[in-house]
Structure 1
Amino acid sequence: MTKLNPVKNLLIGGPSTGKSTVLEALSDRGYWCFPEVSREVTLEARQLGIEHLFLDEPLRFSEMLLKGRIKQFEDAKSINTHQVFIDRGIPDVTAYMDHFGEKYPDEFTKANGNYRYDNVFLFPIWNDIYTQDNERFEDLELARNLQDVLIKTYRDLDYNLIEVPKSRIHERIEFILNTIQKK
Structure 2
Amino acid sequence: MNNNKALQFYTLTGGPGAGKTTLLEGLSDLGLTTAAEEGRRIIKEQLNSHGNGLPWMNKELFAELMFNASIKSYQKMVRISGSDPVFFDRGILDTIGYLKLERLPVPKEMERAAYEMQYNKNVFILPPWKEIYENDPERKQTPEIAERTFECMFDTYREYGYHIIEVPKITVEQRIRFILEIIERIH
Q: Which residue of 1 aligns with 2:18?
A: 17
Deviation at 1:43, TM superposition (A): 1.0
Question: Secondary structure of 1:127's partner?
Answer: coil
8 A Cα contact 2:52 2:58, kept in partner: no
Task: Select 2:178's aligned residue among 150, 175, 179.
Answer: 175
Deviation at 1:103, TM superposition (A): 2.6
Counting aligned pairs with the same residue, the percent is 33
Q: Which residue of 2 aligns with 1:139?
A: 142
Question: Secondary structure of 2:42's partner?
Answer: helix
Q: Tell me how many residue pairs correspond in the alignment.
A: 180
Counterparts in 2 of 1:3-152, with a 5 A limit?
A: 5=5, 7-50=8-51, 53-78=54-79, 79-118=81-120, 119-152=122-155
Deviation at 1:175, TM superposition (A): 0.3
Q: Which runs of 5+ in 2 are unaligned?
A: none
Calculate the aligned-residue CA RMSD, in Å: 1.5
Counterparts in 2 of 1:159-174, with a 5 A limit?
A: 159-174=162-177
- The CA distance in 1 between the partners of 2:146 and 2:53, in whole Å, is 17
Structure 2 length-normalised TM: 0.91
- The CA distance in 1 between the partners of 2:52 and 2:30, in whole Å, is 35
Amino acid at match of 2:102: F
Amino acid at match of 1:5: K
- The CA distance in 1 between the partners of 2:78 and 2:45, in whole Å, is 26
8 A Cα contact 1:59 1:104, kept in partner: no
Structure 1 runs, 4 residues or longer, greater than 2 Å off: none
- The CA distance in 2 between the partners of 1:81 and 1:71, in whole Å, is 19
Amino acid at match of 2:114: N
Deviation at 1:105, TM superposition (A): 2.2
- The CA distance in 1 between the partners of 2:70 and 2:183, in whole Å, is 22
- The CA distance in 1 between the partners of 2:116 and 2:12, in whole Å, is 18
Question: Secondary structure of 1:17's partner?
Answer: coil
Q: Which residue of 1 aligns with 2:159?
A: 156
Q: What do residues 44-99 of structure 1 show as CA deviations (whole Å, max 9, x unaligned)?
A: 11122147712211111111111111111111222124111000011111111111
Q: Which runs of 5+ in 1 are unaligned?
A: none
Structure 1 length-normalised TM: 0.93
Deviation at 1:5, TM superposition (A): 3.0
